[in-house]
């Protein structure tokens, strides 16, 4: 048997053994037995000394080839087996991906806060300041400077929690407007502000009344502010809060601190303006009061009404939230049932 | 005020549906609460003529009636009304009809006798009981004798009219009348309107010989009376009754009905007195003497004050001016001579009297808002004329006048430039003049300037801004352009405080707490709990309920109320925070100061049990972790420390700590005292409350970049036994101080005080991390530093290193 034949046979046998090996240990044993220092290939190579010089390189090359092929086969087999082991492990590790995810503790902003923030951001973007005033106010700022002198019949429209004759829980956030108007330096530019906050009325709590609720009042005073500007501003507000499809209409109304005074309605979100129970078949829903600031309000704050003028508006985030989400009881906002609070978490 | 569509159409040719008219009114003048048609929803309700009435054999109150309903055969209807009688015309609901409340009437049997329909009372076809004439309240209604059997009843009763319910704003007193409404509609629809002029037929003696008025003109700027003799008190004619009940008034008798009718038409409240009940011929308008008694028409008994205006004869008050007449001089069926009063009373007195005596009447409402002071005599004359026509009365010659201060019309100048500048419009002078003239204002133009004379009836118009409103609303708010304010740029940014308050909310939400908004008005007890500083309470003068009577001085109790609300509804895990004000008051000040606070509460667990993890009940350290993370977020510049506080009465004495920043107490954290929790009916609850204003005012750290060392860190663990009194804080402080230059951090990783440590001791274990930012740290250096700190622990804290 020539060396070459021996090598041939060795290769056949080796490949068969590699194929038969079933785990990494087997593969290693086969490797040692075939390619080790005491293995048959080494032995064959050792026999090359007996060959003549012509044959030696040929057989040598052949022997290297056999060794390389066996090595490659061993490597391949090892990878196969490793992959199989890994796959088996991964298969064992499989989980039911439909089991629920681990809960994370996650808090949410109050729905009223969300609306206030939304209004604030809108007006900040239009160059308004946000001013928070005191909740306990003086009669002077809450009423008198709002053109509601002591005996004004419209005071009956707002039942007030008095602490003393002159000190009260603010019934609106507009006292902050009076405070700001008094101080504003118009040489530095127009006054554009909103004042959000809690207000109080002497009401018995029921589904539509709350002794505590929120208001955001806005004020713009400059040399050339028009009622058309008011209309446009309210339209922007309605679009921001409810969506572009909503129209705004103004109706005459009465507030002592504005003249002309208007109430603003928006398209009924429930029926889109066709008329339904929510809008009492009018297609419109009343959402806010507004108007051109009454000259007396300006005068009392030391602003010349012949030079400056502007508009004011007031919106109720509670009412907005009730309308927008169909909340049927205003008390829900202040009882803080977690199941209620967690309903207003959608941010997308 | 409910205004009749048909009545309006007697004066204006509008050619619009009631719904369209209502919408137009709403968009141009005052709010509309609704439009109703009384006959809406009713079906097959006709006039029936009662041919015969027999008693039901098996009943002591049912009648068997044969009723002609205009068909070949009369219907047999069983009727229980006590007042049904032969030859009456009555309201019959035929079989298959619908009456009020959408109730269907079918053929039936009543105690064995077939009954083909129902004879109806007015209430049964939708009338409010308040407007049904008294004699028909407890029985069926009897229609006029000339009604035709078989006709639908609606026109006989004015039920096909449409009623527009105006919600009149306080400034538009003029709209509380037909005439005022007509003036406005005339402008809105750009049509002339012709109102009737009264034409009173006088007879008999001059009134002066029978009546003398003594009037304080400050109380009643106008006060007038007419006398009508020999009146025949009777029910009013149908047309008048219909006008009244459709407007929400019960017809009473011709004289009283006329006063109400004139009020509806002119807006001028009138009062009819029985002249023969006056003591003497003198009538006084004066303030009452304190304590003087008066029984009003509604039989209410009042003790008058010296702020009340009364109408009095020589002896006693006979009416509370502008509010309600007195019972003593009221019109009765025996009245022969009527004194009709038409006046203007000072509105503030009337408003207060109505409030004081809780008598808010249609008269007081109109006087409060102001009546047409140029129309007092007209209203009086129109009433006298009707008493002549409808009650056969003889109107005595002349009017007794006690005061006659009719105001001058307002004259206002306004420029076209101003109008367009404020409204944002391009109106022409002609357009504006046309609008003002359509309101019957007189306009004189001189260049750009308009001089406008406003009729006295529009007492809401005094200044140019009032004219702007008239122009804008008649022109139409829909027609205004839609623009945004231009002018100098302004920056809209939140203040530092506002930004921090927003950051506070976001931080706490990120830490798992939900924002709550609770009531700031609470009970005195709750207001005083959990307070962080001594303060007087601030009470409301007239609270609505004891639950909301005092301003809070803490935020926690509101949140505990919220937990209680949730607990009562079986919601066991509640994690809330609230940002809001507390109100501290110093003795001697009326007004409290306001301080922003932030508070949090957790009961149950923050992380509910899942299939892969058990619920972990909230404890002190979880809450502390939240507060620490929050304060870290707020970047307060200064060491935050927690110092045990066993003194707060509402808190667990062993599980409460003050929160200090740089040594200043800014709040507290801990477990609510179990007895307080029990009082609120809640379980174990952990809370914190911090003075947010203090956090806002504190200096803050800036974010800054710090080199991350590329050299490896070396750690050493140390475990030690120390006495129970030794705190973690003390150990940490010592390690920090004595740890050497390379000590980067110290972390507690184990606390054990179980059976394996001696009594009075506990075991604590820490990991110390060393690192050199400049180079690789060698073990030797670390060992040196570690040995040093170990020694100090042994020496200073008597620690036993394990
Ligand atoms: Zn609708």
Is B703 inside a domain boundary? no
Specify the pLDDT at position B376.
97
* Amino acid B288: pLDDT: 95
The reply to whether A218 touches chain B by the CB within 8 Å rule is no
Cα(A279) to centroid of ligand 1, in Å?
A: 4
Mean pLDDT along residues B135-156: 95
CB spacing of B482 vs A228 below 8 angstroms: yes
B517 plus B384 within the same structural domain: no
* Domain match, B362 and B250 both: yes
CB contact (8 A) between residue B27 and residue A249: yes
Which residues make up the environment of ion ligand 1, defined by Cβ < 5 Å?
A 268, 270-271, 276, 278-279
Range B614-623 average pLDDT: 93
CA B484–ligand 1 middle distance (angstroms): 28
- Provide Rg for chain B, Cα atoms: 41
Nearest CA in chain A to B171: A254
List pLDDT tens digits, range B255-306. Answer: 999 999 999 999 999 999 999 999 999 999 999 999 999 999 999 999 999 9
Domain assignment present for residue B154? The answer is no
Q: Which tens digits make up the pLDDT trace of A2-32?
A: 777 888 888 888 888 888 888 888 888 888 8
Contacts of residue A263 in chain B, CB cutoff 8 Å?
Answer: 31
Q: Which of A123, A220, A226 sits opposite B421 (nearest CB)?
A: A226
Question: To the nearest whole percent, how much of chain B has pLDDT over 70?
Answer: 100
Does B218 have pLDDT greater than 90?
Answer: yes
Q: Is A202's CB within 8 Å of B544's CB?
A: yes
Is pLDDT of B357 > 90?
yes
State the DSSP code for B760. T
Q: What is the CATH number of the domain that holds B792?
A: 3.30.70.380
pLDDT of residue B189: 96
Q: Specify the pLDDT at position B550.
A: 97
Q: Which CATH number covers residue B55?
A: 2.40.50.140
Write out chain A residues lying below 8 Å of B351, CB-based.
151, 153, 156
**CB within 8 Å of A235: residues ≥ 6 apart:** A247, A248, B482
Give the count of Cβ contacts less than 8 A between chain A and B: 261
* Last residue in a domain, options B479, B507, B537: B479
Are B218 and B287 part of one and the same domain? yes
Quick check: A64 pLDDT over 90?
Answer: no
Which of A47-51, B308-312, B665-669 is least confident?
A: A47-51
Q: Determine the structural domain holding residue B718 and report its residue range.
A: 714-801
Alpha carbons A6 and A12: distance in angstroms, whole number? 10
pLDDT the model gives residue B615: 85
Structure tokens at B332: 């009765």
Nearest to B498 among A125, A130, A161 (CB): A130
State chain B's mean pLDDT as an integer: 94
Between helices B254-266 and B362-369, what is the axis angle to 10°? 30
Q: Look at residues A145, A198, A138, A149 and name the one whose alpha carbon lies nearest to residue A172.
A: A198
Q: Which of B348, B468, B591 sits opposite A167 (nearest CB)?
A: B591
Domain boundaries, chain A: 3-92, 111-341
What is the DSSP code string of A71-105? HHHHHHHHHHHHHHHHHHHHHHT---TTSPPPP--
Segment B427-444, tens digit of pLDDT: 999 999 999 999 999 999
Residues of chain B neighbouring A219 (CB-CB closer than 8 A): none
Tell me whether residue B693 is in a domain.
yes
Q: Do A110 and B606 count as a contact with CB atoms less than 8 A apart?
A: no
Using CB atoms, pick whichever of A113, A162, A295 lies closest to residue B463: A295
Q: How many Å lie between the alpha carbon of B247 and the closest alpha carbon of chain A?
A: 21
- With a cut of 80, say whether residue A44 has pLDDT above it: no
* Boundary of a domain, candidates B367, B382, B404: B404
* Residues B544 and B648 occupy one common structural domain: yes
Residues of chain A found within 8 Å of residue B539, distances taken between Cβ atoms: 163
Residues of B in contact with A237 (CB under 8 A): none
Query: Which residue in B84, B121, B82, B126 sits closest to B103, CA to CA?
Result: B126
| CA-based nearest distance B678→chain A, Å | 19
**Closest alpha carbon within chain B to A166:** B590
CATH of the domain at B21: 3.30.56.10
Nearest CA in chain A to B561: A335
Please report which confidence band the pLDDT of residue B776 belongs to, taking 50, 70 and 90 as the band edges: confident
Q: Judge: B542–A151 Cβ closer than 8 Å, yes or no.
A: no
Is A247 in the B-facing interface, judged by CB distances under 8 Å?
no
Which of B404, B420, B438 delimits the end of a domain?
B404
Number of domains in chain B: 6
Render pLDDT for B508-558 as a digit per residue (tens, 0 to 9).
999 999 999 999 999 999 999 999 999 999 999 999 999 999 999 999 999
Tell me the chain A residues in contact with residue B607 when contact means C-beta distances shorter than 8 Å.
103-105
Cα distance between residue A287 and residue A290, in whole Å: 10
Which residues from chain A sit within 8 angstroms of residue B508, using beta carbons? 107
Which position has the higher pLDDT, A58 or B382? B382
Lowest-pLDDT range, A39-53, B257-271, B661-675, B755-769? A39-53
CB distance from A239 to chain B under 8 Å? no
- Kindly report the CATH number that applies to the domain delimited by A111-341: 3.30.930.10
d(Cα B756, Cα B752) in Å, to the nearest integer?
A: 9
pLDDT tens digits for range A196-217: 999 999 989 999 899 999 999 9
Residues A169/A160, Cβ–Cβ less than 8 Å: yes
> How far, in Å, CA of B568 to CA of B571, rounded?
7
Give dist(CA B529, CA B540) in Å, integer.
18
Q: Is the CB of residue A161 less than 8 Å away from at least one CB of chain B? A: yes
Highest mean pLDDT among A75-89, A140-154, B154-168: B154-168
List, for residues B474-486, the tens digit of each pLDDT value.
Answer: 999 999 999 999 9
Check CB contact under 8 Å for B422 and A263.
no
Q: Find tokens 């068997």 and name the residue.
A: B64
Task: Extract the tokens encoding B528.
Answer: 């005083």
Cβ neighbour number for residue A86 with a 10 Å cutoff? 10
Q: Are residues B660 and B535 in the same domain?
A: yes
> How confident is the model over B203-225, as a mean pLDDT?
94
Write out pLDDT tens, residues A80-116. 999 999 999 999 999 999 999 888 888 999 999 999 9
**What is the value of ipTM here, to two decimals?**
0.88
Minimum CA–CA partner of A199 in chain B: B520
Q: Are residues B229 and B115 in the same domain?
A: no
Residues B325 and B240 in one domain: yes
Does B78 share its domain with B8? no
A277 Cα to the center of ligand 1, angstroms: 6
Asked if residues B457 and B372 have their Cβ atoms less than 8 Å apart, the reply is yes
What does the mean pLDDT of chain A come to? Answer: 90
Please tell me which residue, B774 or A182, carries the higher pLDDT value.
A182
Q: Indicate if the pLDDT at residue B147 is higher than 80.
A: yes
Residue B627 has pLDDT above 60, yes or no: yes
How does pLDDT run across A217-271, given as a tens digit for each residue?
Answer: 999 999 999 999 999 999 999 998 888 888 889 999 999 999 999 999 988 888 8
Stretch B345-370: mean pLDDT: 92
- Asked if A190 is an interface residue toward chain B (Cβ–Cβ < 8 A), one would say yes
- pLDDT (tens digit, 9 = 90+) per residue, B162-205? 999 999 988 899 999 999 999 999 999 999 999 989 999 999 88
Q: Are residues B602 and B738 in the same domain?
A: no
A96 vs B65: CA distance, rounded Å: 81
Q: Please, which pLDDT band fits residue B567 given cuts at 50, 70 and 90?
A: very high
Distance A328 CA to ligand 1 centre (A): 16
Rounded to a whole number, what is the distance in Å from the CA of B565 to chain A's nearest CA? 7
Nearest-CA distance B479 → chain A (Å): 10
pLDDT at residue B619 in the model: 95
Q: Residue A69 annotated as binding?
A: no
Under the banding of pLDDT at 50, 70 and 90, the label for residue A156 is low
Could you tell me the CATH number of the domain that includes residue B385? 3.50.40.10
**Which residues of B are documented as binding site for Mg(2+)?**
460, 466, 469-470
pLDDT at residue B134, as a whole number: 94
**What is the pLDDT at residue A157?**
54
Q: How confident is the model at residue B353 (pLDDT cuts 50, 70, 90)?
A: very high
Q: Is residue B75 a contact partner of residue B50, using CB atoms and an 8 Å limit?
A: no
Mean local confidence (pLDDT), B658-686: 96
Q: How confident is the model at residue A281 (pLDDT cuts 50, 70, 90)?
A: confident
């Amino acid at each position: 048997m020539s060396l070459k034949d021996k090598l041939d046979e060795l290769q056949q046998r080796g490949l068969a053994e590699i194929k038969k090996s079933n785990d990494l240990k087997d593969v290693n044993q086969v490797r040692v037995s075939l390619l080790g220092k005491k293995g048959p290939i080494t032995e064959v190579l050792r026999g090359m000394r007996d060959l003549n010089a012509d044959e030696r390189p040929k057989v040598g090359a052949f022997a290297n080839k056999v060794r390389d092929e066996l090595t490659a086969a061993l490597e391949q087999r090892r990878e196969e087996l490793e992959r199989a082991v890994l796959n088996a492990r991964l298969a064992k590790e499989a989980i039911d991906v439909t089991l629920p995810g681990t809960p994370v503790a996650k808090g949410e902003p109050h729905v009223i806060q969300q609306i206030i923030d939304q209004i604030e951001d809108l007006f900040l973007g239009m160059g308004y300041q946000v001013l928070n005033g005191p909740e306990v106010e003086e009669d002077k700022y809450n009423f008198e400077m709002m053109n509601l002198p002591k005996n004004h019949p419209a005071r009956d429209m707002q039942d007030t929690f008095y602490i003393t004759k002159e000190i009260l829980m603010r019934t609106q956030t507009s006292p902050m407007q009076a405070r700001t108007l008094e101080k504003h330096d118009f040489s530095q530019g127009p006054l554009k502000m909103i004042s959000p906050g809690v207000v109080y009325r002497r009401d018995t709590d029921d589904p539509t009344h709350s002794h505590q609720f929120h208001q955001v009042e806005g004020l713009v005073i400059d040399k050339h502010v028009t009622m058309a500007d008011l209309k446009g501003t309210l339209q922007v507000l309605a679009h921001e809060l409810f969506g572009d499809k909503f129209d705004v209409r103004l109706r005459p109304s009465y507030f002592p601190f504005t003249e002309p005074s208007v109430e603003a309605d928006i398209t009924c979100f429930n029926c889109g303006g066709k008329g339904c129970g929510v809008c009492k078949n009018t297609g419109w829903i009343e959402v806010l009061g507004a108007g051109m600031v009454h000259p007396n309000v300006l005068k009392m704050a030391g602003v010349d009404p012949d030079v400056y003028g502007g508009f004011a508006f007031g919106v109720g985030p509670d009412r907005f939230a009730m309308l927008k989400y169909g909340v049927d009881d205003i008390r829900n906002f202040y009882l803080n049932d977690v199941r209620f609070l967690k309903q207003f978490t959608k941010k997308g | 005020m409910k205004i009749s569509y048909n009545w309006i159409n007697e004066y204006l040719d509008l050619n619009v549906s009631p719904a369209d008219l209502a919408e137009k009114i709403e968009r141009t003048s005052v709010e509309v609460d609704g439009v109703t048609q009384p006959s809406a929803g009713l079906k097959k309700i006709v006039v029936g003529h009662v041919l015969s009435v027999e008693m039901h054999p098996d009943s002591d109150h049912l009648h068997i009636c044969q009723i002609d309903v205009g068909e070949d055969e009369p219907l047999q209807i069983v009727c229980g009304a006590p007042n049904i009688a032969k030859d009456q015309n009555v309201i019959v609901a035929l079989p298959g009809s619908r009456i009020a409340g959408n109730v269907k009437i079918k053929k039936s049997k009543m105690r064995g006798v077939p009954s083909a329909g129902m004879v109806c009372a007015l209430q049964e076809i939708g009338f409010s009981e308040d407007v049904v004439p008294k004699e028909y309240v407890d029985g069926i209604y009897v229609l006029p004798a000339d009604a035709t059997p078989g006709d639908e009843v609606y026109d006989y009763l004015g039920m096909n009219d449409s009623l527009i319910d105006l919600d009149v704003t306080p400034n538009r007193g003029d709209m509380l009348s037909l005439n005022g409404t007509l003036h406005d509609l005339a402008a809105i629809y750009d049509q002339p309107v012709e109102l009737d002029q009264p034409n009173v037929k006088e007879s008999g003696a001059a009134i002066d010989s029978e009546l003398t008025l003594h009037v304080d003109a400050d109380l009643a700027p106008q006060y007038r009376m007419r006398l009508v003799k020999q009146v025949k008190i009777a029910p009013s004619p149908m047309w008048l009754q219909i006008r009244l009940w459709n407007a929400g008034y019960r017809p009473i008798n011709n004289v009283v009905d006329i006063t109400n009718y004139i009020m509806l038409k002119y807006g001028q409240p009138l009062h009819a007195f029985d002249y023969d009940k006056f003591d003497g011929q003198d009538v006084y308008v004066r303030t009452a003497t304190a304590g003087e008694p008066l029984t009003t028409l509604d039989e209410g008994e009042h003790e008058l004050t010296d702020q009340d205006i009364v109408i009095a004869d020589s002896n006693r008050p006979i009416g509370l001016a502008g509010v309600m007449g007195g019972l003593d001089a009221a019109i009765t069926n025996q009245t022969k001579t009527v004194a009709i009063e038409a006046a203007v009373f000072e509105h503030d007195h009337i408003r207060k009297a109505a409030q004081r005596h809780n008598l808010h009447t249609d008269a007081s409402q109109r006087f409060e808002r102001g009546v047409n002071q140029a129309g007092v005599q007209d209203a009086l004359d129109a009433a006298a004329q009707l008493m002549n026509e409808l009650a056969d009365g003889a109107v005595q010659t002349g009017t007794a006048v006690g005061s006659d201060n009719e105001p001058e019309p307002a004259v206002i100048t306004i420029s076209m430039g101003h109008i367009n500048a404020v409204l944002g419009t391009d109106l022409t002078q002609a357009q504006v003049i046309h609008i003002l003239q359509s309101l019957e204002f007189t306009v004189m133009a001189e260049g750009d300037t308009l001089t406008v004379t406003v009729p006295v009836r529009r007492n809401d118009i005094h200044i140019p801004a009032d004219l702007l409103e008239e122009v804008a609303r008649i022109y139409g708010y829909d027609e205004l352009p839609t623009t945004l304010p231009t002018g100098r740029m302004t920056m809209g940014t939140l203040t530092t405080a506002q930004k921090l308050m927003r950051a506070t909310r976001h931080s706490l939400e990120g830490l798992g707490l939900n924002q709550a908004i609770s009531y700031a008005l609470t009970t005195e007890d709750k207001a005083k709990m959990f307070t962080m500083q001594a303060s007087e309470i601030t009470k409301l003068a007239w609270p609505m309920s004891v639950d909301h009577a005092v301003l809070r001085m803490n935020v926690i109790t509101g949140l505990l109320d919220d937990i209680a609300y949730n607990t009562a509804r079986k919601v066991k895990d509640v994690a809330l925070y609230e940002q809001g004000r507390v109100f501290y008051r110093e003795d001697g000040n009326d007004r409290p100061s306001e301080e922003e606070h932030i508070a949090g509460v957790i009961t149950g667990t923050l992380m509910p049990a899942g299939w892969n993890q058990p619920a972990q009940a909230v404890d002190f350290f979880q809450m502390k972790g939240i507060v620490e993370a929050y304060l870290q977020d707020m970047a307060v510049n200064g060491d935050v420390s927690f110092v045990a506080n066993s003194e707060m009465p509402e808190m667990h004495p062993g599980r409460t700590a003050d929160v200090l920043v740089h040594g200043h107490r800014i709040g507290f954290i801990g477990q609510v005292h179990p007895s307080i929790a029990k009082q609120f009916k809640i379980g174990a609850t952990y809370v914190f409350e911090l003075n947010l204003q203090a956090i806002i005012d504190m200096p803050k750290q800036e974010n800054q970049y710090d080199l991350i060392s590329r050299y490896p860190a070396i750690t050493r663990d140390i475990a030690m036994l120390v006495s129970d009194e030794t705190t973690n804080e003390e150990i940490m402080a010592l390690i920090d101080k004595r740890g050497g230059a390379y000590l980067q951090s110290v972390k507690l990783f184990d606390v054990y005080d179980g059976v394996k440590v001696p009594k009075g001791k506990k075991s604590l274990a820490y990991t110390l991390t060393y690192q050199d930012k400049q180079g690789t740290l060698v073990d030797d250096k670390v060992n040196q530093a570690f040995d040093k700190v170990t020694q100090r622990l042994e020496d200073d804290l008597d620690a036993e290193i394990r």
